[in-house]
């Protein structure tokens, strides 16, 4: 079965007085991997569960290809899903777990075991077919869960925080593997996560959600460099928040006059949003405008955390080579390298 | 490493074993006495088996109990599963209600329950499995409840559903095998309780194995005890058989 595109149109879902999704719209193209990113309670998991058919919707519709599947029960939707908690069937062996979807689709035993072995090969567990799930590590269990979700060639693959329960190293390896598999199989995929690094590193597009609506959906580059709202700017990547005054469309930051790019009707006292890499630190011969608090070495680059004399904490990201002298307490001059700055009132 | 003997555990187990086995061994000893010839022998057992009613009543009670097990599983497994999955506010209430068969006097219960059954079973012997089901409810419900509490039911169910299993397939192919121990417990409790049920059966004027044994006891008390011994052993063999037919595969391979 080939992958199809997925569309959510004006989907709303309320739980009592809480609105989990509010006229939510989403389109995921064929073979695309879209991550839904947001703080807990933003509605991303609800959206995924509605796509899977595990949650009902109050209004709106879910379409796969040309077909409206809003009323179709979960087991007839032909979607593979990987859950946060290990969800393997403990009474079945690894190969039987992987073959389960095909068994439900009445595929002969010979064919389904053959397919299960193919998938286990793909996820790097060819020798674990006859083990039971409790004999596997967390990362291995999630690989098996991934193989199970892909074995019946689903139209859509749904990943519900599949890496959250794993160790840091395993997380990074497995997310690369998920991406590699997803590209080679061309499966349309929705990936829910609260970890922005995870979302940004493997997705074609990332949808940032807040309070049941999609704030912005774009490629990771656009989200980072041109956030549509202050929420997205703050949520994606590290962002410095520097209090300043807005006058005649200009903001003065560290002695430099920048053009303000407004998202609303900001005026007067505002907060300027600047990425760490747009701020550079220079050793000052006199008082300077800030003092170094810490320097955090990250390999090729280092983060320098400073405090301005007004008390604002500012983070700068620079090539490590240039930062060796910035010991805690050093008086420095902060400089801005851009000419434009995003401002907000919150 | 040499394993240390856990003394409190040993004492508890010994007391428990005495409590369970002393009456059984005494009954067995009594059942193999031969008062006429003196000494011991299998006379009473031969007498019991020779009675053609023995087979009739043991089979009758056997299939009634098997039917009770079936009714219990068909009604209770989906219901308790649903209660767990829905996070229903009704759950504490139903927990309490399931205990009622223990406190309602059987006399009051018998008539009330009988008239509430579907008409096609009323006043036929088929009403017994439904009534036994209610009597076994406090035990069966708890066994399943504990089983379902011990597994990540919601995730497993959702995984099965999203992988293509309908609700019935999810229950049969996934949930029941995963809570196998609890299901075996439910089967054992329900079967044993139905096989030995006496009060309700007599009140409703049905004849089953236990009522027949009391009838026989008036004539030959040693024979009746021999029959009771057999009725202890038969369910034991049956349950062992069921356990072997429904093997715990993961435990086997773990060895």
- With a cut of 70, say whether residue B187 has pLDDT above it: yes
Q: What is the pLDDT of residues B36-86, one digit of tens each?
A: 777 888 888 888 888 888 888 888 998 999 999 999 999 999 999 999 998
- Check if B169 contacts A (Cβ < 8 Å): yes
Provide the chain B residues 107-166 that lie in CB contact (below 8 A) with chain A: 151-152, 155-156, 158-166
How high is the mean pLDDT of chain B? Answer: 86
- With a cut of 60, say whether residue A50 has pLDDT above it: yes
A82-86, A150-154, B64-68, B172-176: range with lowest mean pLDDT: A82-86
Q: What is the pLDDT of residue B246?
A: 66
* Tokens of residue A229, six digits: 């709202």
Please name the member of B151, B158, B254 whose beta carbon is closest to the beta carbon of A54. Answer: B158
Q: What is the pLDDT of residue A53?
A: 93
* pTM score: 0.82
Confidence of residue B190 (pLDDT cuts 50, 70, 90): very high
CA-based nearest residue in chain A for residue B164 = A75
Q: What average pLDDT does the segment A189-201 reach?
A: 92
- Check if A147 contacts B (Cβ < 8 Å): no
Strand pairing class (A340-344; A268-274):
antiparallel
Q: What is the pLDDT of residue B247?
A: 60
- With a cut of 70, say whether residue B254 has pLDDT above it: no
Confidence of residue B236 (pLDDT cuts 50, 70, 90): confident
Q: What is the pLDDT of residue B249?
A: 58
Q: What is the pLDDT of residue A101?
A: 93
- With a cut of 50, say whether residue B253 has pLDDT above it: no
Q: What is the pLDDT of residue B239?
A: 75
For residues A22 and A12, the answer to whether their CB atoms sit within 8 Å is: yes
For residues B230 and B48, the answer to whether their CB atoms sit within 8 Å is: yes
Q: What average pLDDT does the segment A189-218 reach?
A: 92
Q: What average pLDDT does the segment A321-340 reach?
A: 87
Q: What is the pLDDT of residue A267?
A: 74
- Check if A53 contacts B (Cβ < 8 Å): yes
Confidence of residue B252 (pLDDT cuts 50, 70, 90): very low
- Check if A145 contacts B (Cβ < 8 Å): yes
Give bridge partners of residue A200 from the DSSP assignment: none
Q: Model ipTM?
A: 0.82
Q: What is the pLDDT of residues B206-224, one digit of tens each?
A: 899 888 888 888 888 888 8
CB contact under 8 A, B152 and A80: no
Which of chain B's residues have a Cβ under 8 Å away from the Cβ of A52?
A: 158, 162
CB contact under 8 A, B166 and A89: no
Q: What average pLDDT does the segment A207-230 reach?
A: 91
Q: What is the pLDDT of residues A261-318, one digit of tens each?
A: 876 676 788 888 899 999 999 888 788 889 899 998 888 899 999 999 888 999 999 9
| 3 state SS for chain A | CCCCCEEEEEEEEEECCEEEEEEEEEEECCCCEEEEECCCCCCHHHHHHHHHCCCCCCEEEEEECCEECCCCCHHHCCEEEECCCCCCCCCCEHHHHHHHHHHHCCCCHHHHHHHHHHHHHHCCCHHHCCCEHHHCCHHHHHHHHHHHHHHCCCCEEEEECCCCCCCHHHHHHHHHHHHHHHHHHCCEEEEEECCHHHHHHHCCEEEEEECCEEEEEECHHHHHHCCCCHHHHHHCCCCEEEEEEEECCEEEECCEEEEEEECCCCCEEEEEEECHHHEEEEECCCCCCEEEEEEEECCCEEEEEEEECCCCEEEEEEEHHHCCCCCCCCEEEEEECCCEEEEECC
- Residue written as token pair 């599983």: B73
Which domains does chain B possess?
Answer: 67-208+230-247 (1.10.3720.10)
Q: What is the pLDDT of residues B117-154, one digit of tens each?
A: 878 877 788 888 988 999 999 999 999 999 999 999 99
The most distant pair of C-alpha atoms in chain B lies apart, rounded to whole Å, by: 71
Q: What average pLDDT does the segment A152-158 reach?
A: 93
- Check if A212 contacts B (Cβ < 8 Å): no
Confidence of residue B255 (pLDDT cuts 50, 70, 90): very low
């Amino acid at each position: 079965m080939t992958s199809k595109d997925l569309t959510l149109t004006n989907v709303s879902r309320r739980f009592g007085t809480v609105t989990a999704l509010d006229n939510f719209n989403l389109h995921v193209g064929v073979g695309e991997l879209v991550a839904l990113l947001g703080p807990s309670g933003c509605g991303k998991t609800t959206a995924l569960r509605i796509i899977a058919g595990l949650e009902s919707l109050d209004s709106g519709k879910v379409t796969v290809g040309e077909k409206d599947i809003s009323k179709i029960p979960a087991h007839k939707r032909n979607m593979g899903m990987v859950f946060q908690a290990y969800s393997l069937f403990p009474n079945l062996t690894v190969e039987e777990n992987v073959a389960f979807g095909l068994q439900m689709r009445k595929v002969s035993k010979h064919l389904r075991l053959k397919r299960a072995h193919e998938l286990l090969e793909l996820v790097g567990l060819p020798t674990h077919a006859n083990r039971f799930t409790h004999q596997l590590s967390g990362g291995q269990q999630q690989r098996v869960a991934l193989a199970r979700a892909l074995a019946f060639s689903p139209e859509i693959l749904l990943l519900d925080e599949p890496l959250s329960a794993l160790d840091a190293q395993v997380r990074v390896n497995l997310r690369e593997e998920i991406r590699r598999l997803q590209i080679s199989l061309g499966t349309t995929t929705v990936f829910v996560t609260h970890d922005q690094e995870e979302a940004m590193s493997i997705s074609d597009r990332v949808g940032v959600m807040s309070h049941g609506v999609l704030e912005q959906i774009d490629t990771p580059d656009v989200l980072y460099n041109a956030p549509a709202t202050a929420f997205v700017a703050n949520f994606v990547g590290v962002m410095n928040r520097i209090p300043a005054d807005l006058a005649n469309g200009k903001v003065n930051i560290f002695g430099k006059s920048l053009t303000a790019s407004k998202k609303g009707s900001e005026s007067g006292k505002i907060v300027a949003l600047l990425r760490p890499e747009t701020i550079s630190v220079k050793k000052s011969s006199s008082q300077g405008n800030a003092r170094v608090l810490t320097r955090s070495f990250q390999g090729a680059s280092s983060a320098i955390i400073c405090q301005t004399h007004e008390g604002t904490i500012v983070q700068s990201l620079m090539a490590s080579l240039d930062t060796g002298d910035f010991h805690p307490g050093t008086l420095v001059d902060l400089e801005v390298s851009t000419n434009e700055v995003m401002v907000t009132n919150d | 490493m040499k394993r240390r003997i856990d003394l409190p555990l040993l004492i508890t187990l010994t007391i428990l074993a005495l409590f369970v086995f002393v009456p059984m061994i005494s009954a067995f000893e009594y059942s193999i006495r031969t008062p006429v010839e003196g000494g011991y022998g299998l006379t009473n057992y031969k007498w019991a088996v020779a009675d053609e009613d023995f087979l009739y009543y043991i089979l009758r009670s056997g299939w009634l109990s098997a039917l009770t097990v079936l009714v219990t599983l068909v009604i209770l497994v989906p219901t308790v599963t649903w209660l767990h999955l829905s996070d229903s506010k009704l759950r504490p209430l139903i927990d309490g209600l399931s205990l009622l068969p223990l406190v309602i006097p059987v006399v009051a219960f018998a008539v009330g329950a009988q008239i509430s059954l579907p008409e096609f079973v009323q006043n036929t012997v088929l009403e017994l499995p439904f009534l036994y089901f209610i009597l076994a409810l406090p035990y069966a419900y708890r066994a399943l409840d504990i089983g379902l509490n011990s597994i990540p039911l919601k995730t497993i169910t959702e995984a099965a559903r999203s992988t293509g299993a309908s609700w019935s397939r999810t229950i049969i192919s996934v949930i029941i095998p995963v809570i196998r121990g609890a299901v075996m417990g439910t089967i054992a409790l329900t079967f044993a309780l139905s096989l030995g049920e006496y009060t309700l059966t007599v009140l409703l004027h049905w004849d089953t194995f236990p009522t027949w044994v009391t009838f026989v006891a008036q004539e030959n008390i040693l024979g009746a005890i021999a029959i009771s011994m057999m009725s202890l052993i038969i369910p034991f063999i049956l349950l062992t058989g069921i356990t072997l037919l429904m093997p715990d595969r993961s435990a086997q391979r773990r060895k």
